[in-house]
Chains A and B, each alone.
Chain A
Amino acid sequence: MAELMYREALNQALAEEMERDANVFLIGEEVGRYQGAFKVSQGLLDKFGSARIIDAPISELGFTGLGVGAAMVGLRPVVEMMTWNFAILAMDQIVNNAAKLRHMSGGQLRCPIVFRGPGGAGGRLSSQHSQALEANYAHFPGLKVIAPATPADAKGLLKSAIRDENPVIMIEGERLYALKGEVPEGEHIVPIGKADVKREGKDVSLITWSRMYYFCEEAAKQLEAEGISVEILDLRTLRPLDEEAILATVRKTNRAVVVEEGWPLAGVGAQVVDIIQSKAFDDLDAPVVRVTGLDVNMSYAANLENAIQPDAPKIIAAVKKVLYREGA
């Protein structure tokens, strides 16, 4: 298996799907001649030409609407958001049109479209460029939301998303693009809606997704050294949530910590906790604890930026709390 960066895995998925189906095209700001703001589309213009790799003006609402219209009549657009922060301008087309077309038409229309781009905080970018916005999209029926942590999952999920008959929101980790991992060549598919146990353990479950998975791993390693066995469930898909996998891990370890980069109020983690308490209450040995970003806007100052985001020490503290250990 080849070692690929997260961005290269995405690039491979795009290239393979465009090769397979002439209806697939990529549109977004700087995706063509510039080769992608985060280099996900590197080389695709030369490979597929300007008919299918399309540089859009800086008009998020406009080119998103164009993508949705193209999907309504059978094309399979991949709309790149330079970052999900800018996609807030395109929210009307994603939410009011893409998510609702099938329902409003009584099943006459399908909208096979992928909206993808980087999300997440960090990099000293302050409030407007540093947000984990997946909860916004997970809220809406009619959308699917995926957020892969590893290069292999990034490739497999993007391929599934492009083949899906529904609008799919893919939130990539802006801080993960250069991360390397083994990626199977060719037809590697990760199904939408399936979580993945990335680490087996028996004392406590960490339930998370995207970049937070790596903080969980770091915490798990330190906790193992203290004799605490940690299971990590990477949700990968946030809508629909893999309830079975969530319940299975909780029933196994009887304790859970949900780790989320975004804000606590109405976060995806809140829904995960609700699933656990309503369907596995009797299996719990302690109340579920959440680790989230702080309920504030992101700061530019380095120390404030660090303090706002979850990290391994915060996760370790939460694990000790659900285990009723010292220091919690």
Chain B
Amino acid sequence: MASKYSKDLLLTMYRKMYLMRRFEERAGQQYGLGKIAGFCHLYIGQEAVAAGVEEAIRPDDYMLSGYRDHAQPLARGSDPGMVMAELFGRTGGYSKGKGGSMHIFDIENHFYGGYGIVGAQIGLAAGMAFASRYRNEDRITVCYFGDAAANQGIFHETLNMAVKWKLPVLYICENNRYGMGTAIARTSAVPEIHKRGEGFGMRHEAVDGMDVLKMYEAVKDAAAYIRAGNGPVLMEANTYRFRGHSMADPATYRTKQEVEDERKNDPIPRLKDYAIKQKLAKEEEFDAIEEEVKAQVDAAVKFADESPEPDLAELWKDTIVEEGEEDVRPRERVLGQKVTKWPKYPSGQELKVTWDLEPREQADKADKAAGLKR
């Protein structure tokens, strides 16, 4: 049977996954060399999730993540050199070296940040989705979070509002089975995170997060559902991180056997095998992509290494917006590239939305009939 996927789609997803993998391997290496400090949470093993999501949504959809946030912006199209420079704490980074590993922001590409407090981005995502509905835009917000974040209060508080107000948000729980060093089953009454959507009357589903095509299909479907105004979706991508929680974690809480077994599921060779078996692409084409990506990552490390440390005067900038202060466009500042994708927000248009899902007139009438008044 012929594949229903185009060669272009498969190669694009492969390129993105391979870029994430090589980038993260080099980041790990640079951490070992002392070029990167702090915490450095690698995404290795989880690439199918970000690659599948990215091809299934629109580039102008909003996205945010937790602290494992280097790879998702790469899938969006962020510059690998600027992400690496951020990890190095250099001026060439997206946040001029002020955010570091856990706080990658690339607003041009609609990546609204990584957040270091577990689950905190779940509330922000609802707000961004709220803004889309408020302005009658049809973009959705994709919010990544980990399995452990589902035990935070904000998860429950936000899901309740998201459903009640039909917010156009796709919550993707990347369940890699461990919240830092503790297996999720040890801390969660119901370790199948997606089932928690049930209590909020929310559409929910589990997906094999080690299979980029399954992710792609599931997200395409969910995004169409959300864009049509049906409200949020809770998707659990069952995935696995091949490395520890961060570079500081030797991951002794799981067996070698477990990791070896999971490595057999590696999404990157899986996609390659599929494409070759389907005769959609040849081995040499993958080799060529790999060579290109390797050179790209080498260049990224070189760019980061050559980028200067921030000036001490930078300490006093970017905390408060001073009066009349211009917005800073990172790509223009760092690479001298003219920015065309900087978001513009419509304002002042007539609002058609209501958050009160009970029709207002009906409620007023019922109040009046019952002798209630405001």
Contact = CB atoms under 8 A, between A and B. Distances in A.
Interface of A: 21-23, 25, 32-35, 45-46, 49-52, 54-57, 59, 61-75, 77, 92-93, 96-97, 101-110, 141-142, 144, 165-166
A74 B131 contact: yes
16 contacts: A21-B348, A23-B347, A33-B374, A50-B354, A51-B134, A51-B353, A59-B158, A62-B157, A67-B127, A73-B345, A75-B134, A105-B107, A106-B328, A108-B105, A109-B105, A141-B319
A70 B134 contact: yes
Contacts of A22: 347-349, 351
Contact of A72 (B128, B134, B160): B128
B343 to A, nearest CB: 7
Interchain residue pairs A-B with the least CB separation, the first 8: A65-B123, A69-B127, A62-B157, A106-B95, A69-B124, A74-B345, A59-B157, A105-B105
Contact of B103 (A35, A50, A104): A104
Interface in B78-117: 93-99, 103, 105-107, 112-113, 115-117
A66 B99 contact: no
Interface residues of B, number: 60
Given A57-B160, A62-B123, A73-B131, A102 B320 contact: yes
A141 B157 CA distance: 27
Contact of A54 (B124, B328, B349, B355): B355
Contacts of A51: 134, 351-355
A68 B123 contact: yes
Contacts of A32: 356
Contact of A55 (B124, B126, B317, B356): B356
B103 A105 contact: yes
Interface centre among B123, B347, B351, B374 (most CB of A within 10 A): B123
A65 B157 CA distance: 10
B360 interface: yes
Interface string B286-328: 0000000000000000000000000000000111110001011
B161 A57 contact: yes
Interface of B: 62, 93-99, 103, 105-107, 112-113, 115-117, 120, 122-132, 134, 153-154, 157-158, 160-161, 164, 317-321, 325, 327-328, 330, 343, 345, 347-349, 351-356, 360, 363, 374
Contacts of B330: 106, 108
B328 A110 contact: no
Contacts of B97: 106
Nearest to B328: A107
A105 B113 contact: yes
Given A107-B317, A165-B321, A69 B128 contact: yes
Nearest to B342: A108
A25 B349 CA distance: 14
A113 to B, nearest CB: 10
A67 B345 CA distance: 17
A74 B363 CA distance: 31
B93 A62 contact: no
A77 B127 CA distance: 10
A61 B363 CA distance: 28
A157 to B, nearest CB: 16
A59 B160 contact: yes
Nearest to A55: B356
A108 B325 CA distance: 12
Contacts of A49: 351, 354, 360
Contacts of B320: 102, 141-142, 144, 166
A65 B319 contact: no
Contacts of A63: 157, 161
Contacts of B123: 61-62, 64-66, 68-69, 93
B355 A75 contact: no
A73 B128 contact: yes
Contact of B160 (A62, A67, A74, A144): A62
Given A22-B348, A106-B328, 18 more contacts: A23-B348, A49-B360, A61-B154, A62-B123, A63-B157, A65-B126, A66-B130, A68-B124, A69-B124, A69-B131, A73-B131, A73-B132, A73-B345, A74-B345, A74-B347, A104-B95, A105-B113, A166-B321
Contacts of A166: 320-321
Interface centre among A64, A66, A109 (most CB of B within 10 A): A66
A25 B355 CA distance: 12
Nearest to B113: A105
A51 B320 CA distance: 30
B127 A108 contact: no
